[in-house]
Structure 1
């Protein structure tokens, strides 16, 4: 057993490197009142949204102390029952202190509020390098992303966050050097009553590899514990697109902890756009 880096690690025999194996199995039913096809990264797959789907993820984490600090690595593999991608590399990266390099979800993936309605960021996972400095009260970071290999497009991301008592303020920014366009997002969250209130706003100068369709958006959510095991999060978002089409989305996400390592998530969402779609899902998630 290796307890230097948290629970679940054990020494790889004959080495000073610690290994942790984990993962997740998710069984879901997704639905849409218009029987629309499932969309992955902006492309219709031809598979109806109204279907069952099973997803498996397997993770491997390693860590060891060295003369340059703690060296870590992370690998996550993913596969789905519809077989659209087979077994794929979901994330893989190396960390040395605050330095991070590899293929991973960047800070842009954290943009938004709790729930299933925020739609500002189009792409957040890249081959990237970043450095994060974290202190007790604040965090700052800077990263460089390879947006597309075909034309050598690169992007720059920045992050700044501070916690003042019960309030956390976060600022994100990104710039696509090929498109010569960028975005900025601000978010505040605060512990209020039995839950956490979140408010965020984002603006993009024009379409880029980070933001494809949304010019600006404002959203709010409030997640509260109804019981010790049940958390309910209503949310609402207003969206203005680059084509001057605006719409409102709203929904309620419920998460119930059945037991240790087992939970059920369910959501019902409404998109008051031209299509006026009702969507939702029920997911049984086992993590280990």
Structure 2
């Protein structure tokens, strides 16, 4: 009898469990579909779609190490322009570039942040802290662009429209225009390589506008198979003066490019945000010759009405993909803040890893 009762209880329990499973079946959740990062080749190499959006993003930058020697490229630790020891800078630059297509054209947001470790010197630093070395963190570029309309902070159109001053590293020793400034600009791109730009700029330092009248910049360019021609003019509203530049680049062969640029400002005796060379006029020239796919020779000559003279030459070598070594030789003369205006030779060496 006990055996029968135990068998009956066991059968009842089994039936109860079976009915419970039948009433509440176990449901296994389906895994969420994985979103893989997709490349975006619309805007060039390195862009990828931000998952779940139509925006393409590119992360890039470089790590750089610079060494300068000589009175015109060494570290000016005493503030006398004599470059008494090595100048050195280690930099990490981070760039972000986000783009998408809209009914009003391409929408872009671009930024570059620089992290610098400098040998202190009055010629080189963005900020001086009165010590032999300085750490600097600063925004180099940050702007938004919709079609041809741009707003933000970047180098002045007076400088960028004429493509700076050659492919040498120390191209700025004889000034050819200002760099970072807040601006609002519009660029019209037409057919046959024609483009025109107008910009309202805030200036920087002692040239920052002090009322509601901005600096005004305008320029045009023409790009053809033979090369490019550019011209730009700017009005400094703080000092009520103007300056202009014109440049021509000529593609001599597939391996050699030559360029020449001239600048003029309205009053040589009045400070000018845009015409920051000595005297009323200045000229620049140079070229690039490709030795092979990995090596190029670059040169720049510059002279102004104040008899300032600069000659720069370098060899840029891509040792392996993405890693560049560039030794450079610089001669300066009559530049007041370098070697008390005397002739001086300096050397420069740059190591850079782009990514």
Q: TM-score, normalised by structure 1?
A: 0.88
Q: 1:111, 1:185 within 8 Å by CA — same for their partners in 2?
A: no
**Do structure 1's residue 3 and structure 2's residue 41 form an aligned pair?**
yes
Q: 2:108, 2:146 within 8 Å by CA — same for their partners in 1?
A: yes
Provide the rounded CA distance (Å) in 2 between the counterparts of 1:16 and 1:117. Answer: 39
Correspondence for 1:130: 185
| Aligned residue-pair number | 281
**CA 1:227/1:171 → structure 2, altered by over 3 Å: closer, same or farther?**
same
Provide the rounded CA distance (Å) in 2 between the counterparts of 1:235 and 1:249. Answer: 8
Correspondence for 2:176: 121
Q: 1:120, 1:217 within 8 Å by CA — same for their partners in 2?
A: no
Instruction: Identify which range, 24-33 or 83-92, moves more after superposition.
Output: 83-92
Correspondence for 2:262: 201
Provide the rounded CA distance (Å) in 2 between the counterparts of 1:286 and 1:191. Answer: 28
Q: 2:235, 2:241 within 8 Å by CA — same for their partners in 1?
A: yes
1:108 partner SS: helix
**CA 1:108/1:84 → structure 2, altered by over 3 Å: closer, same or farther?**
farther
**CA 1:264/1:63 → structure 2, altered by over 3 Å: closer, same or farther?**
same
Provide the rounded CA distance (Å) in 1 between the counterparts of 2:228 and 2:352. Answer: 29
> Which residue, 241, 253, 256 being the options, matches 2:314?
253
- The Cα offsets for residues 154-201 of structure 1, whole Å up to 9 and x where unpaired, read as 211112111343131110111111211111111111111430011111
Deviation of the 1:49 alpha carbon: 6.1
Correspondence for 2:292: 227
Unpaired runs of 5+ residues, structure 1, are none
Correspondence for 1:90: 140
Correspondence for 1:277: 344
Correspondence for 1:53: 89
Q: Structure 1 or 2: larger helix share?
A: 2
Provide the rounded CA distance (Å) in 2 between the counterparts of 1:57 and 1:33. Answer: 27
Deviation of the 1:114 alpha carbon: 3.4
Q: 2:244, 2:275 within 8 Å by CA — same for their partners in 1?
A: no
**Do structure 1's residue 73 and structure 2's residue 109 form an aligned pair?**
yes
Kindly report the root-mean-square deviation, in angstroms, between the aligned alpha carbons of the 2 structures: 2.5
Q: TM-score, normalised by structure 2?
A: 0.72
Correspondence for 2:9: none
Correspondence for 1:25: 63
Provide the rounded CA distance (Å) in 2 between the counterparts of 1:64 and 1:29. Answer: 40
Q: 1:237, 1:250 within 8 Å by CA — same for their partners in 2?
A: yes
Provide the rounded CA distance (Å) in 2 between the counterparts of 1:74 and 1:125. Answer: 14
Provide the rounded CA distance (Å) in 2 between the counterparts of 1:74 and 1:278. Answer: 38
Provide the rounded CA distance (Å) in 2 between the counterparts of 1:205 and 1:269. Answer: 30
Instruction: Identify which range, 141-150 or 256-265, moves more after superposition.
Output: 141-150
Instruction: Identify which range, 166-175 or 145-154, moves more after superposition.
Output: 145-154
Q: Structure 1 or 2: larger strand share?
A: 1
Q: 1:61, 1:72 within 8 Å by CA — same for their partners in 2?
A: yes
Please identify the structure whose Cα radius of gyration is greater: 2
